Structure 1
């Protein structure tokens, strides 16, 4: 029986996250790590699947044991991996982070000489499935190099702004050798929703004041602009004049890196359910807060009942089967925030 179109298809980055199992310790002193599926596009797909959505991801891994691990993880999380293919010449990327709660989480990306997820070719795309998906979610990282850039823009062209087409600005300056503004403009013209933090908005449209950034994003094409402001909450502005400004959910932050991807998966659920803008933002904020209170990204993504509980004002639940994490005391801040 044909299950019908996917609720969410994401396209973009995947890799292996190696997170220290001791917090507030410099990377050179860490002696134990947890291994997790990572990458923004993969994490959003996992977040959506945890909330009951039928999801898939379009990406590529190395033809190596880490690639096999990522396939297994996607399947275990309930994400369709049929469009995840190997690239023989490039290894699966690895990302390390340092964890200095509450707001300093430096990232170290190992994606050289090139990441396999940037080797997505236009002719490999299942454009029928992408066009039929209720939500198509693409990321700024997928625009930073060819052939992924052309493939991503081809997917947007085929979507032709049908359904919900989300551009996660996902600005990672270390991946770019050029100003992204022109490329981002082409992607924004094909999106119906734009999501980004203040740094990402500034890179995309030259504005970081939240209302100015939202106006600039809407002027570039989308119907809905979602501006994430970290401790100041989130601002969402729709072209029809509807807006919502929602404060963050107070939590004891362990690792803020996965919060944006949890927010994304929950945002997809709210948009697909047709919720009012403020309800959708509060729900997405709740999902992000839950993950910020946990160490990992993918495995920390919350289930629907957990998000419902926090969105209703209840306590943040502990993570199921959480890895053991040792707090090593308070270290001097590095002053290098990730901003996600």
Structure 2
């Protein structure tokens, strides 16, 4: 990997990037949509954008094709405050596209165009900026980044270089179509849990990672696997977060859902912000839930991420109802 002028990072993510092609009509199947919007996408990329919106230095280790969409990805990253120094061009593969359908409040089918492979899954060990991985305050990986070699080997090398430095975060991020089968996903995701300090996932993702869907048992299993903070998202039932000596469970922040696809990435970006800001676990989880609520009321993902003033204002609105112990807003 060539030398970079990027300063030490607050948040460094690795994994998917691409183009979100989202319909500008809701409640309509793709076959009937007439107009679309084009947005920067990919879960780890969205998390980096969210961190940048909170004024943190962020970057993504990822790959793009040698094509116009790849150039758009890099340009849009820079415009949204994310360093693109670690975006690698893979000329044998196209920059991926993701389409969705929008049927509020809870049906948002995704269609990934990533065949025969995507550039981000073709990252090699040589593509990893090891010094940046070691020095970043937060290093964020996803479970889907482990779904295929050479990306899997690159992730293992990065985690080895990181040497379990706080905060090393895994978004469990299970998507069945990225894997041969669930057993393969369990094997590879569970293998890296002792190398991370924070794990975030919904109940299905926890089932794949540690074999538990009940939130309490899932959090305990993640802690037993070696993580220090286990965060279990329960959809409309809120969020449970546990350490070895603290337990926080909060209901969801109220929201009117337009497109729920960006909520998880907004949640992750706010977790990063809370950890970097030294917030309590309760304030961090409340912020994450609130960021998710803000973004799910908007059409797009990356450009929908809130700023800190916007986030704190929304948190004040619902504090007495959701998190009355959080006073410093």
Flag the 1:3–1:68 CA change in 2: closer, same or farther, 3 A: closer
Where does residue 53 of structure 1 map in the other structure? 56
Which of 181, 202, 217 lines up with 2:207 in the alignment? Answer: 202
Which of 284, 287, 293 lines up with 2:297 in the alignment? Answer: 293
Where does residue 192 of structure 1 map in the other structure? 197
SS in 2 for 1:194: strand
Which of 295, 304, 312 lines up with 2:308 in the alignment? Answer: 304
Where does residue 260 of structure 2 map in the other structure? 256
Shift of 1:242: 0.3
Where does residue 79 of structure 2 map in the other structure? 76
Where does residue 134 of structure 2 map in the other structure? 131
**Structure 2: distance between partners of 1:255 and 1:89:** 33
Which of 207, 216, 223 lines up with 1:218 in the alignment? Answer: 223
Where does residue 249 of structure 2 map in the other structure? 245
**Structure 1: distance between partners of 2:127 and 2:301:** 28
SS in 2 for 1:23: coil
Where does residue 38 of structure 2 map in the other structure? 35
Higher relative contact order (CA 8 A, sep 6+): 1
**Residues 237-259 of structure 1: per-residue CA shift (max 9 Å, x gap):** 012x2011011111110000000
SS in 2 for 1:258: helix
**Structure 1: distance between partners of 2:269 and 2:256:** 21
TM-score (norm 1): 0.90
**Structure 2: distance between partners of 1:288 and 1:85:** 30
Where does residue 161 of structure 2 map in the other structure? 158
**Residues 187-213 of structure 1: per-residue CA shift (max 9 Å, x gap):** 111100000111111111111111111
SS in 1 for 2:260: coil
SS in 2 for 1:89: coil
Where does residue 87 of structure 1 map in the other structure? 90
Shift of 1:3: 7.8
**Structure 2: distance between partners of 1:175 and 1:126:** 25
**Structure 2: distance between partners of 1:33 and 1:173:** 26
Any unmatched runs of 5+ in structure 2? 320-329
Shift of 1:4: 4.9
Which of 182, 187, 190 lines up with 1:182 in the alignment? Answer: 187
**Residues 142-169 of structure 1: per-residue CA shift (max 9 Å, x gap):** 1000000010011111111112000001
**Structure 1: distance between partners of 2:166 and 2:197:** 8
SS in 2 for 1:75: helix
Whether 2:284 is the aligned partner of 1:280: answer: yes
**Kept in 1: contact 2:253–2:318 (CA 8 A):** no
**Structure 2: distance between partners of 1:31 and 1:90:** 28
TM-score (norm 2): 0.93
SS in 2 for 1:95: strand
Structure with the higher fraction of residues in helix conformation: 2
**Structure 2: distance between partners of 1:216 and 1:15:** 33
SS in 2 for 1:313: helix
Residues matched between the structures, number: 313
Where does residue 143 of structure 1 map in the other structure? 146
**Structure 2: distance between partners of 1:78 and 1:66:** 18
SS in 2 for 1:22: coil
Any unmatched runs of 5+ in structure 1? 316-340
**Structure 2: distance between partners of 1:305 and 1:274:** 17
Which of 213, 220, 235 lines up with 1:230 in the alignment? Answer: 235
Runs of 4+ in 1 over 4 A off after TM superposition: none
What's the RMSD between the two structures over aligned residues? 1.3
Which of 173, 178, 201 lines up with 2:176 in the alignment? Answer: 173
